């Protein structure tokens, strides 16, 4: 029997949820507000009422050229996600439907790599990219972003694939389906919600990655994270311009997250087949 919830408890829970949401969102809100201030207003202190000027956006666009960085971010996030799925779907299939006694150890090892500080491998990675001619190249950054997010992608797909009854795949084998036919025509369509939520999460992670994108690029492949960092200089921080650049960088991913939140939550919550 379900426990009844009083109106008072619902009100308290709602207020608590909105409070936490506002606390989390407030830094983003204040960044947006600061972007509509002049530099003089921005350094004067805390103020939630902007003057409404667009001069920071005009100067940011005139100085850097937003759309070049935006295009690089789109190509890198989408490209690295496609590469990750091409590797992770067969890997997750193997671990979910043909496990060995080392499968759990491999999964834990993959996840443990996310706990290692990125700076610990910066020097060897930089030398490898330099020797292979991948510095400041889109393909190099796609590979790097794919590798750093691959453990999460494999783990998520492995979880979704475990929800799919193995009997369905066995039936496809009895009907003469090849290995790749089984993965492409049977497994993948059944796991579409899980794959979609994994894609969305990986695009967000790749879009927000700053450590590697700043250190492995200069101009040609620089994404929006490099666009933001270009407004931090030895002469000081230009808060209004920095806020305008940050707003332009996070706006696309905020819009995408807002319109895809139902699909993302449904995929993360329910997996593939129940």
Instruction: Encode 227-259: b = buried (16+ Cβ within 10 Å), e = exposed.
Output: bbebbeeeeeebbbbbbbbbbbbbeebeeeeee
pLDDT, tens digit (0-9, with 9 covering 90-100), for 109-136: 988 888 888 898 999 999 999 999 999 9
pLDDT of 195 over the 90 cut: no
Domain with CATH 1.10.3720.10 in the chain: 64-267
Mean of all residue pLDDT scores within the chain: 85
pLDDT in the model for residue 124: 93
pLDDT of residue 266: 65
Q: What angle do CA 83, 84, 90 make, to 5 degrees?
A: 105
CATH of 64-267, one of 1.10.3720.10, 3.30.450.190, 3.40.190.10, 2.30.30.30: 1.10.3720.10
pTM (2 d.p.)? 0.82
The helix/strand/coil state of 4 is coil
The pLDDT score that the predictor gives to residue 3 is 58
> Mean per-residue pLDDT for 17-33?
90
pLDDT reported for residue 254: 84
pLDDT digits (tens, 9 = 90+) for 139-175: 999 999 999 999 999 998 998 888 888 778 778 878 7
- Token pair for 97: 């439907």
- Could you tell me which residues come within 8 angstroms of residue 6 by beta carbon, excluding any fewer than 6 positions away? none
* CA–CA dist 265, 262 (Å, integer): 5
Both tokens of 273, joined, read: 């087949």
| pLDDT (average), residues 191-212 | 88
Q: What is the pLDDT of residues 81-92, one digit of tens each?
A: 999 999 999 899
Both structure tokens of 51: 């003057």
SS3 label, residue 154 = helix
Radius of gyration of the chain (CA): 23
What pLDDT shows up at residue 4?
Answer: 61
Question: Each residue of 60-84: pLDDT tens digit?
Answer: 887 777 888 999 999 999 999 999 9
- Helix or strand holding residue 244 (H, E): helix 239-259
**Which residues, listed in sequence order, are joined to residue 233 by a DSSP beta bridge?**
236
Handedness of CA 166, 172, 174, 180 (dihedral sign): negative
DSSP H or E stretch at residue 109? helix 103-112
- Contact indicator for 87, 151 with CB cutoff of 8 Å: no
Strands 236-237 and 232-233: antiparallel
């Amino acid at each position: 029997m379900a426990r009844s919830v009083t109106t008072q408890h619902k009100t308290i829970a709602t207020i608590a949820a909105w409070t936490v949401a506002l606390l989390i969102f407030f830094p983003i809100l204040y960044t947006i507000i600061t972007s509509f201030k002049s530099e003089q207003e921005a350094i004067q202190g805390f103020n939630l009422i902007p003057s409404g000027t667009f001069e920071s956006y005009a100067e940011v666009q005139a100085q850097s050229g937003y759309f070049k960085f935006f295009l690089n971010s789109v190509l890198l996030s989408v490209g690295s996600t496609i590469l990750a799925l091409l590797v992770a779907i067969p890997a997750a299939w193997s671990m979910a439907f043909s496990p060995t006694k080392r499968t759990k150890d491999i999964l834990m090892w993959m996840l443990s790599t996310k706990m290692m500080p990125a700076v610990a491998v910066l020097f060897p990675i930089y030398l490898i990219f330099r020797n292979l001619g991948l510095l400041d190249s889109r393909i190099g950054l796609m590979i790097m972003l794919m590798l750093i997010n691959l453990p999460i992608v494999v783990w998520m797909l492995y979880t979704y694939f475990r929800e799919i009854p193995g009997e369905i795949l066995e039936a496809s084998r009895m009907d003469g389906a090849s290995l790749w036919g089984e993965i492409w025509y049977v497994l993948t369509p059944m796991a579409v919600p899980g794959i979609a939520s994994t894609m969305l999460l990986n695009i967000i992670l790749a879009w927000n990655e700053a450590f590697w994108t700043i250190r492995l690029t200069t101009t040609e492949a620089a994404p929006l994270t490099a666009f933001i960092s270009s407004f931090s200089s030895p002469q000081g921080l230009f808060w209004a311009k920095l806020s305008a650049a940050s707003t332009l960088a996070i706006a696309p991913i905020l819009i995408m997250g807002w319109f895809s939140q139902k699909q993302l939550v449904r995929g993360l919550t329910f997996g593939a087949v129940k």
